[in-house]
Each structure stands twice: as structure tokens, then as C-alpha cells.
Amino acid sequence: MMNVNELIDRILSRAGARADAAEVYFKSSESRPVEFENNKLKYIATKSGRGVGLRVIHNGRIGFSSTSDFSRLAELVDSAMESARFGQEARFEFPEHCEPSEVKVFDERVKELDPKEMADLGHRGIDAILAEHPDVQCSGSVNASVSRERVANTRGLDVGYTSTRSSISLTALAVGDDEGFLWVGDRRSGADLVDDVSPLVKTINRDLELAERTATLSTGTYPAIFTPDAMGTLLLSISQGVNGKMVQKGASPLTGRIGEQILDGRITVVDDALTEFGPASAPHDTEGLVSGRTTLIDKGVLKSYLFDLQTAGMLGERPTGNGIRSYSSQPNPGHNNTMVLPGDTPYPDMLAGIKRGILVDAMLGGGMSNTLAGAFSVNVDLGFLIEDGQFAGRIKNCMIAGNVYDLLKDGIETIGDTPEMKGALSVPHFCFKGIRLGTQ
Amino acid sequence: MIDEIRKAMASASADYIEVRVQRAGSSDVRYTGKELEHIGRRTQLGGSVRAMVKGGWGFSSFNELADLPDYVEATCRQARLVERETPGLAPVEPGQATVVAEPEVDPRDVALEDKQALCEAYNKIILASPKIQTSNVVYRDSTIDEYLVTSDGAELHQETCFAGVMVMAVAKDGADVQRAYDSVGNIRGYQVVADREAVCEEVVRRAIDLLSAEQPDAGPHTVVLDPKLCGVFIHEAFGHLSEADFVYENDRLRKIMQIGRRFGPDSLSICDYPRMPGEAGYYAYDAEGVAGDRTYLIRDGVLDNRLHSRETAKMMDEEPTGNARCLNYSFAPIVRMSNTFMEPREHSFEELLDGIDDGIYAIGAIGGQTDMEMFTFSAEEAYEIKNGELARKLRDVVLTGNVFETLGDIEMIGDDFEMYGGLGGCGKGGQMPLRVGDGGPSVRIKNVVVGGQ
């Protein structure tokens, strides 16, 4: 088998001979998940994958094709050229050069982690949950992966990097005497080695305990604390809203509103590719543009959208280095790590301030309503009644609904002072003045 | 290919070995607004090995097929590390067959420029209305050629050929944006994506109408679901709970999900049927080489059977149903639905509405989700029902229910029936979107909680 780098060079020179300009994006990854089901280790797996995407610009139009079948490279070039006959008009040129940012995305320890250690890690977590809650069933996975990507084009750019990622996720299911189900879970991930299960165990054991009691509420409007996990669902609307593609189509409600106060003055949101060992950190994007930080919302004022090359070109804006793709798709604007900056209220104070309200941690059906307009309407999968600053039991079989833009503009009571990194989103707890809750 | 795979497996030792090789080709066209954002073809080639040793599983996926013997060896080694005592796999008649895709019009015979022209025409219809801000037209076909060989005798060569198109209109009024869509997709052939001009016009009308629609009142309502939403309701409310991998190792759940338990009225029957001709969830043999068959999940209101892989069937001492599926070669098979539907009964639509003083008629589906007990499903559009008649138009109608109550709250089942596929699909265990068919008749249910004002 030919060396991969030679292969990329060969595709580029073949495509370069036929198209006005060409770009190859290569990505390979090897991930080694260890999976637990019903308190027991079930799978040890190795998943390797690699492929190339070829983008050409010919007679001013974009063509694209991709493959993971490296015996069919002639066909790859033919398909990309065929696609350029109809393709979109190119509103950019491939970059000639990139000085990648300095950011740590590789940890040798992740690469070296062996399945035995990963299995032990999972067992340790599950045993610690079962020690306090012997009746629950735990599932989960411990994963370590190494990825390599390279972007090269016929204008001379040739950059790439190797990154690692590790993650732990654990879920516990408790089936009550009333036949009710309770799911609680937690996860951690990063480019560095995530090998401490204790925070996950702590969260899961705490939530299992809190949910032992149940509470009922009638339909009405209640003050509500949203945990960082729950905020992730709400922030979907904002991330769609600042996506340059949605703006270019005029579909985003934030179109044409740069400089406008769109949210509460206490909210600042930054897209950050440079968080050390962040799950979505990168020295450059998938088009070979240097990665950095983009302030999206500054004290409630809309400052910027996120762009890839083509979308920025169409709007005459500067690209922000947010071209995201897999090898089998063309770039689109997307997020790196999303950082919602903390406010000034400690979580215990937030909780103590609620006389009668709810805490929302997990929701069912998020992203399945008109998220673009900011609408949300979800089942409270894990939520609690709060009375006089104390948890007073789990609430179930109810829906909360509202509009994210309205809520984040006029509905905020307080913002927590301690952000938590969940996946590629860092956000603190938020307390809202009133959320509409529907129940039987 | 089958001989090559057999050779690679020859020297390996495990209680069970399964090797899959897939070659796939697809073409896509995507318009967003005025722009043709993507057009082109892709190819994929990959394989996977799954091995079981004393109940523990190893799995590998890869693109370098030349290294297959090494992957078989390594996967068996991984399986030996797991140490999980189980009774093993239920015996089956191993499938040995060649299954050829039989699309009426094969999308591979249609030129890329014809696919582009079709999408362009649909896109023009949508953008012709001045109230439409932007559009989305996505065409996709994919042909998968799969070889499956197992150590206990399955030798299968199966081909599937899927084609579908999704059209979406986005209407905007100030900061208010409303979307309406239609998605069709199954294995019948390219003709299913043709002649959908009227559907495009309909989608435009719906998106614009949603701008002036109102939000529902929060709280419990009697609802009538159309066949499409009924399909999603069944899929979320009961289909996932029927997947035996959720129950098989949990004593409490096994007790709750005992065959013979009543879940709904006598009129309620729910089926899963992989071999339903032409439908999006069609397959002849599942990912373990087991022939797919019709399985009644609920028959006459009572739990009748559940969906199994060979492992869950053995553990529960029941018959395998042929419901182990994987999204593609890079995933291990898990228990999944195929084409899942509620059987129709005798009531007309007028009878379903009759006698509802204050309810909601919910149409179409954006999606749904379940935690196995509680579930949500969201409608594309809806109407208030006042005194048995359709009244004001509603939007953002998301419904929630509880599997132990809501199926029992089914009051009346309609006489219409429709199956739906499309470009979307089902998600479970990180494997999404898996092509599935969902469907049923119109159905009336009381006491369903709706989110809203």
C-alpha cells in the first residue's frame, strides 16, 4: 500500500493538471472504545477510518467528491470535475499559506492508553455508583482516539496536525417500584487524558439520591434554574443563529443585526479554538485557515457570525477560520469550543433564592421544534421541584416551552459564576425568572 | 468476495465471528436558497469484524481490506479480554442468499445533471413565492453492496438502493422564521422523487401559514394524530421499549415487559416488519444473517413479542426476530426497528373528531425522542379542535406521553393507513440516521400533555 502522503500528493497533482485549482482534505482516525452495558464490560473495539475529499475550482465553479476506497482515485478526480460543471460559483480562492496557532491538542498518554486501563477506569466508576445504589444498572463507555488531518492545495498550502481525544461517559438507570424510569448520566471529554471518574460518580450518585422523592406541579409559570447540560439544548438556537450560512440565506433571526443588543447585557459568548486541550480546539480549520477566538456576543451585543471561506466570500466578510467538515463533505461554518462567560452568582445562592421553582437538567425532544426561531418545547426528563431553596423531589411527565431569544434577553434572573465544560460547550448555570410548564 | 472472507476467518478461533464488507456509492444534490451548494458523487469501501468469546465481544472496523486476516485475529484477541459470561447466541437457520436491489428506475442509470435539474425545478417553485426567505432541497441516492459471512454458516450478498428527496421552505416575517418540509425516500427507485411539484407548492403554503399560527395552551389535551405523526408516536412510545437489548439483562424491566401484559385497548396492534416491500426500513436479512419477519409487538392491546438480536433472544429464551442492524460497516449491530406501524381499524376521520370539545389535531412529524418511559413527538403543523370541528391554526405543537399511560389512553383508531420513510431516520447508540419506515392510521388519544403558553 502506498504511503498516504504520497497518495494525497498524487491526487493533488492529477486534479491540479485538470482543474484551475484543487484542494485535498485527508482525515484518518483510530478510536478504541471500551463499552459497558448493564454493569458489565461488553465490547472492546477498534475503529479505524480514513478518507479523502477532493475540492476543485474550475472555470469559476466548485466541484467536490470523496472516497474511502483508495483503489478508485481516477474516479475521484473524474467525479470532482463532473461536479464542477454544475457546481456553485466559487467566491474565494484557496489560501496559499497558513501559520497554524499554538494550541495543545495532542496528549501522548491518550495514544498510549491500553484497553485494560480503560476497562479498569469504567469498572471503577460503575463500582462506585453500585456501592451507593446497588439496584441501578450502569452503562457507559471509555474512549481514546488519535486523529490525523491534512489540508493541501495547488496554491502551495500544506498543513496538518495530529490530535488526541479521550472521553468517559456513564449512565445509570433506576427502575422504581412504581415502574418509573430514572436516567442519570454524566460525561467528560478532552484532547488530554480524561482519567478521573470521580466527578461523574459524584453527579450520578447525587442525582439518584435527589430523585428518590417525587413531586407534582400544576400547569403554570415557575422560576427555573437550568444546569450547564440543559443550557446546551437552549443554546442550539443561538449557535444556528450566528452560523454564517443561515445569515447568508437570510434565515437567521440575527441577520443584519450586528451591533444590536440582542441578549441580556450580562451575556458574552466566544467561539474559541485555542482552549488548551479543548475537545474542539485546533491549530487551523479544515480549509487551512488559522484558528483563533471570535467574540460572537459581547455583553449582549451581537458582534460577529461564524464563516467558512465560501460563505464569507458571498457576504464580502472576512473568514473567521470556522470551516468544519468531514472528509466526505464540503466545509460549512461551524463552532469550535463555545464559551459562555460566567456571571457573578454562586450556584448555592442561586438555589437559595428560589422560593418555589424548578431545576431543569435533562430534556427530551430538544432540537425537534422550530429552533431557528428560538422556539423550544421539551419534556423535562430530569428535573426537580425547588422549595425554599431546597430540592423537593423529581418532577415528571411535564413539558416546558418558550423562546430562547426572549428568555436570554428579558428573562434572566442570575448567571452562575462557575462554568462547566460539557463536550465543546462551557457554560454556567442560569436562573430564569419564569418558565411555562405544562403538566397533566 | 465470500471466499476471500472465509479464508481470512479460517485460522481464527472464537465462539462466533462475523465479517462484513461494504462497498457503497452515493450521489447528492443540495440547494440552499438560490445556490446549488453541493453536487457530486462519493464512494466508500470498508469492513468490520465482530467476534464473541464466552459472551465477551470484540469489534474492529477498517478501510484496508487487504489486512482483513489481521483484523480477524486482533478482534478475537479483544473479545478474549472482555470476560463476560453469557449463554451465547440463539441458533438460527443461517441465511445464504443473494439479494439484488430491484428499483423500478435505478438511480444509477439517471445522469447527475437530471438529478440536478429535478432539484432546481423544485427549488424554483419554492423560491417563487415572495414570502419565502430561503429554501432547502436535498436529493440523495445510495447503493450499498454488502457481503456478510458468519462462522456459523451465513453467507449473504445483499444490495440495497435507496433514493429520496427532501424539500423545505423557510418563511420569514421580521424575526419570526417558520419552516415546513416534506421528505420522501425508500427503496422503490428514482421515480419516487419525481413529480413532486404539487408537494413543493404545498410546503410553501404550510410555511407561510405557520407565520400566522398561534401557540397551543400548555397542559393536557385530547389529540388526533395524522398517519405520519402516528408512525412517529408508535416508534417513540413503544418501538424503542420493544427492543430487547434494553430489557434482557435487567430483571425489573423483564418483569415489567412480561409477554401478555396489557398496554392498550383491544383495538391496538403494533407490528415491525422488515420485509415490507419497498419501504424505507426494508431488508431481507439482518446484520447477523437472520431473515427478517413480521413481529407483533402489541396484539389486541397486549404485549405479544419484542425485537431481538441473536444474543438477546438466547438470553431471554425467545425466538430471534431478525432485528440486529448496523448503520454501516463501522458500527457493531444492535437491536433496531425496521418498518414499524399501528394497524388500522374502522373509524373515519369525522368519527375521530366527533365529540371533542377542545382538542388538537396534529399533523406531520418533525421528530421524536424517548427515554423509554416518557417520550416526545413534535408536529409540523396543527389545528385546534372545537366542538368536533377544526378551528384556529397552531404551531410549535410538541406532545409528551408516558408509555404506561398513553397507549391506554388511545380512544379510537382510524381506517386510513400510510407508511413514511424519507431522508431522515432513527438514532440509537450513536448510529444515526438509520433508514426506517414508520406509519399507521389517524388515531385519537386523550390526556396528552402539550407544551405551550
Which residues 6+ apart lie within 8 Å of A236 measured at CB?
A: A366, A367, A371
Query: Among the three residues B211, B234, B256, which one is the final residue of a domain in this structure?
Result: B211
- Nearest Cα neighbor of A20 from A86, A112, A122, A94 is A94
Question: Residue A292 corresponds to which amino acid?
Answer: G
Q: A43: distance to nearest CA of chain B, Å?
A: 5
Which pLDDT score, from 0 to 100, does residue B314 have?
98
B367 and A365 in contact by Cβ < 8 A? Answer: yes
Interface test with B, best of A364, A400, A403 (most B CBs within 10 A): A364
Per the CB < 8 A criterion, the answer to whether B409 and A397 are in contact is: no
Backbone phi, then psi, for A209, in 5-degree steps? Answer: -70, -50
Closest residue in B to A81 (Cα) is B40
Q: Which residue of A42, A86, A370 is in closest CB contact with B57?
A: A42
pLDDT below 50 — which residues of chain B?
none
B81 and A115 in contact by Cβ < 8 A? Answer: yes
Per CB-CB distance under 8 Å, the chain A contacts of B252 are 135, 175
Which residues 6+ apart lie within 8 Å of A182 measured at CB?
A: A173, A174, A175, A176, A208, A211, A382, A394
Same-domain pairing of B294 and B350: yes
Q: What is the mean pLDDT of residues A92-108?
A: 97
Per the CB < 8 A criterion, the answer to whether B353 and B389 are in contact is: yes
Q: Which residue of B113, B330, B369 is in closest CB contact with A47?
A: B330
Which pLDDT score, from 0 to 100, does residue B10 have?
92
Closest residue in B to A250 (Cα) is B133
Backbone phi, then psi, for A92, in 5-degree steps? Answer: -155, 170
* Neighbour tally for A54: CB within 10 Å: 29
Q: Grid coordinates in use for A228?
A: 450547564
Q: Which residue of A86, A180, A438 is in closest CB contact with B449?
A: A438
Closest residue in A to B217 (Cα) is A438
Kind and range of the H or E element at A198? helix A198-210
* Residues spanned by the domain of B236: 219-450
Query: Among the three residues B211, B243, B272, which one is the final residue of a domain in this structure?
Result: B211
A440 and B116 in contact by Cβ < 8 A? Answer: no
Between β-strands A356-364 and A220-226, what pairing exists: parallel, antiparallel or unpaired?
A: parallel
Q: A47: distance to nearest CA of chain B, Å?
A: 5
Dihedral Cα A324, A292, A311, A81, nearest 10 deg: -50
Backbone phi, then psi, for A131, in 5-degree steps? Answer: -60, -35
Same-domain pairing of B79 and B226: no
- Across all residues in chain A, what is the average pLDDT? 96
DSSP annotation of A41 reads E
Which pLDDT score, from 0 to 100, does residue A3 have?
84
Which pLDDT score, from 0 to 100, does residue B329 have?
97
B376 and A368 in contact by Cβ < 8 A? Answer: yes
A68 and B402 in contact by Cβ < 8 A? Answer: no
Q: Which residue of B39, B61, B253 is in closest CB contact with A83?
A: B39
Same-domain pairing of B326 and B395: yes
| pLDDT (tens digit per residue) in A356-376 | 999 999 999 988 888 999 999
pLDDT at position A1 over 60: no
- Nearest Cα neighbor of A71 from B68, B148, B26, B23 is B23
Per the CB < 8 A criterion, the answer to whether B177 and B131 are in contact is: no
Same-domain pairing of B138 and B229: no
Buried b (16+ CB within 10 A) or exposed e, B404-421: bebbbbbbbbbebbbbbb
Which pLDDT score, from 0 to 100, does residue A353 have?
97
Per CB-CB distance under 8 Å, the chain B contacts of A379 are 369, 374-376, 400, 451
SS3 A394: strand
Q: Grid coordinates in use for A98?
A: 497558513
pLDDT at position A185 over 60: yes
Which pLDDT score, from 0 to 100, does residue B174 have?
85
Interface test with B, best of A68, A252, A404 (most B CBs within 10 A): A68
Place of cell 450478498: B157
Q: A277: distance to nearest CA of chain B, Å?
A: 24
Same-domain pairing of B327 and B249: yes
Indicate the range of A104-108, A166-170, B171-175, B289-293 predicted with least confidence: B171-175
Looking at residue B156, which CATH number applies to its domain? 3.30.2290.10
Rounded to an integer, what distance in angstroms lies between the CA atom of residue B388 and that of residue B348? 13
Rounded to an integer, what distance in angstroms lies between the CA atom of residue B438 and that of residue B453? 30
Q: Grid coordinates in use for B63?
A: 478501510
Query: Among the three residues B211, B243, B267, which one is the final residue of a domain in this structure?
Result: B211
List of E strands, A212-345: 220-226, 269-272, 293-298, 301-302, 323-324, 332-333, 337-340
Per the CB < 8 A criterion, the answer to whether B16 and B89 are in contact is: yes
pLDDT at position A2 over 70: no
Maximum distance among all alpha carbons in chain A? 73
Which of left, alpha, beta for A84 (phi over 0: left; psi -120 to 50: alpha)?
A: alpha
Which pLDDT score, from 0 to 100, does residue A385 have?
98
Same-domain pairing of B191 and B252: no
Per the CB < 8 A criterion, the answer to whether A399 and B449 are in contact is: yes
List of E strands, A59-157: 61-67, 137-153
Q: What is the mean pLDDT of residues A109-124?
A: 96
Binned at pLDDT 50, 70 and 90, residue A56 comes out as: very high
Per the CB < 8 A criterion, the answer to whether A354 and A225 are in contact is: yes
Rounded to an integer, what distance in angstroms lies between the CA atom of residue B20 and that of residue B288? 10
Rounded to an integer, what distance in angstroms lies between the CA atom of residue B158 and that of residue A296? 49
Q: Which residue of A38, A82, A328 is in closest CB contact with B42?
A: A328
Interface test with B, best of A141, A249, A308 (most B CBs within 10 A): A249
Q: Which residue of A79, A250, A396 is in closest CB contact with B40?
A: A79
Closest residue in A to B211 (Cα) is A373
Rounded to an integer, what distance in angstroms lies between the CA atom of residue A428 and that of residue A426? 7
| pLDDT (tens digit per residue) in B35-68 | 999 999 999 999 999 999 999 999 999 999 999 9
A180 and B373 in contact by Cβ < 8 A? Answer: yes
Q: What is the mean pLDDT of residues A409-433?
A: 97
Q: B228: distance to nearest CA of chain A, Å?
A: 15
A372 and B39 in contact by Cβ < 8 A? Answer: no
Rounded to an integer, what distance in angstroms lies between the CA atom of residue A143 and that of residue A165? 8
User: Measured between alpha carbons, how far is residue B431 from residues A325, B127, B327, B388, B434 in Å?
Assistant: 19, 34, 6, 42, 7
Same-domain pairing of B287 and B409: yes
Q: A253: distance to nearest CA of chain B, Å?
A: 5
Q: Which residue of A47, A65, A251 is in closest CB contact with B61?
A: A47
| pLDDT (tens digit per residue) in B262-287 | 999 999 999 999 999 999 999 999 99
Question: No. of H helices and E strands in chain A?
Answer: 10, 22
A43 and B57 in contact by Cβ < 8 A? Answer: yes
DSSP annotation of A179 reads S
Interface test with B, best of A26, A56, A69 (most B CBs within 10 A): A69
Q: Grid coordinates in use for B364?
A: 406531520
Which pLDDT score, from 0 to 100, does residue B453 have?
79
Which pLDDT score, from 0 to 100, does residue B207 have?
97
Interface test with B, best of A27, A43, A248 (most B CBs within 10 A): A43
HEC string of chain B? CHHHHHHHHCCCCCCEEEEEEEEEEEEEEEEECCEEEEEEEEEEEEEEEEEEECCEEEEEEECCHHHHHHHHHHHHHHHHHHCCCCCCCCCCCCCEEEECCCCCCCHHHCCHHHHHHHHHHHHHHHHCCCCEEEEEEEEEEEEEEEEEEECCCCEEEEEEEEEEEEEEEEEEECCEEEEEEEEEEECCCHHHHCCCHHHHHHHHHHHHHHHCCECCCCEEEEEEECHHHHHHHHHHHHHHHHEHHHHCCCHHHHHHCCCCCECCCCCCCEEECCCCCCCCCCCCECCCCCECCCEEEEECCEECCCECCHHHHHHHCCCCCCCEECCCCCCCCEECCCEEEECCCCECHHHHHCCCCEEEEEECCCEEEECCCEEEEECCEEEEEECCEEEEEECCCEEEEEHHHHHHHEEEEECCCEEECCCCCEEECCEEEECCEEEECCEEEEEEEECCC
Q: Grid coordinates in use for A369?
A: 421544534
B37 and A405 in contact by Cβ < 8 A? Answer: no
Q: A329: distance to nearest CA of chain B, Å?
A: 9
Q: Which residue of B112, B176, B451 is in closest CB contact with A82?
A: B112
- Nearest Cα neighbor of B20 from B144, B163, B124, B191 is B144
Same-domain pairing of B325 and B446: yes
The verdict on whether omega for the bond into residue B91 sits within 30 degrees of 0, i.e. cis, is no
Same-domain pairing of B200 and B323: no
- Nearest Cα neighbor of B305 from B223, B348, B242 is B242
Q: Which residue of A63, A251, A438 is in closest CB contact with B134?
A: A251
User: Measured between alpha carbons, how far is residue A27 from residues A67, A146, A151, A413, B361 in Å?
Assistant: 11, 11, 9, 45, 48
Per the CB < 8 A criterion, the answer to whether A291 and A105 are in contact is: no
Same-domain pairing of B70 and B193: yes
Rounded to an integer, what distance in angstroms lies between the CA atom of residue B450 and that of residue B251? 33
Q: What is the mean pLDDT of residues A68-94?
A: 95
- The total of structural domains in chain B comes to 2
Per the CB < 8 A criterion, the answer to whether A37 and A72 are in contact is: no
pLDDT at position A334 over 60: yes
Q: Which residue of A86, A137, A219 is in closest CB contact with B36?
A: A86
Domains in chain A (CATH in brackets) are 4-207 (3.30.2290.10), 217-440 (no CATH)
Which pLDDT score, from 0 to 100, does residue A178 have?
86
Per CB-CB distance under 8 Å, the chain B contacts of A179 are 256, 373, 404
Per CB-CB distance under 8 Å, the chain A contacts of B113 are 85-86
Q: What is the mean pLDDT of residues A105-123?
A: 97
Same-domain pairing of B207 and B224: no
Which residues 6+ apart lie within 8 Å of A206 measured at CB?
A: none
Which residues 6+ apart lie within 8 Å of B349 measured at CB?
A: B414, B416, B442
* Neighbour tally for A329: CB within 10 Å: 17
Closest residue in B to A396 (Cα) is B374
Same-domain pairing of B298 and B378: yes
* Neighbour tally for B363: CB within 10 Å: 18
